[in-house]
Amino acid sequence: MSLLEELYRETIMQHAQRPHNFGPLEAPTVKVGGHNPSCGDRIELYLKVENGRIAEARFTGHGCAISQSSASMMTDLIRGRTLAEALELHRKFKAMVVEAEPPDPALGNLAALAGVAKLPARVKCATLAWNALEQAIEQVGEAL
């Protein structure tokens, strides 16, 4: 294993063991659930949206290290972003894990999940939280 792969593994395990932004959000603007039956991962994503910006992002759920660390790092990254910026991050993350494109610098430590592109069975684990995010943004957009 290369040094970079070791660092990536360490990042994933740290977020999976002590996820950031874990726990429900009181009075969310939107709440979306996601389920990945092939691995048994579950996510509930809570967003508070104020003036078109994600003021708070939290999640609950359980599952494998990839699904939980992805949700942990995603909720860190999207806080304070506009909905359009969050959708752009969603696109960049999917390009990395689905199309195997090199990680965009805007994704920060989510680059740790770039190797998932080589593990087709785990792509749904990595994208679970991000698909919930896309759905949540669509729901908020419809309510405006």
Part in contact with Zn ion (CB under 5 A); list of ranges 7-15, 38-46, 47-55, 94-102: 38-46
Total residues at interface with Zn ion (CB under 5 A): 6
The correct pick among 39, 87, 95, 98 for binding Zn ion (CB under 5 A) is 39
Contact code string over 47-86 relative to Zn ion, x by CB under 5 A: ----------------xx--x-------------------
Question: Under a CB-based contact definition with an 8 Å cutoff, are residues 136 and 58 in contact?
Answer: no
Residue closer to Zn ion, measured from CB, 30 or 66: 66
Residue closer to Zn ion, measured from CB, 30 or 43: 43
Place of tokens 């003036």: 51
Residue closer to Zn ion, measured from CB, 34 or 63: 63
Question: Under a CB-based contact definition with an 8 Å cutoff, are residues 84 and 144 in contact?
Answer: no
Question: Under a CB-based contact definition with an 8 Å cutoff, are residues 38 and 126 in contact?
Answer: no
Contact code string over 96-135 relative to Zn ion, x by CB under 5 A: -----------------------------x----------
The correct pick among 19, 41, 79, 133 for binding Zn ion (CB under 5 A) is 41
Cα torsion 104, 22, 27, 36: sign: positive
CB of 1 to Zn ion, least distance (A): 21
Question: Under a CB-based contact definition with an 8 Å cutoff, are residues 96 and 9 in contact?
Answer: no
Give 106's contacts (C-beta < 8 A, 6+ positions apart).
88, 89, 92
Count of Cβ atoms closer than 10 Å to residue 106 Cβ: 12
Residues binding Zn ion (CB under 5 A)? 39, 41, 63-64, 67, 125
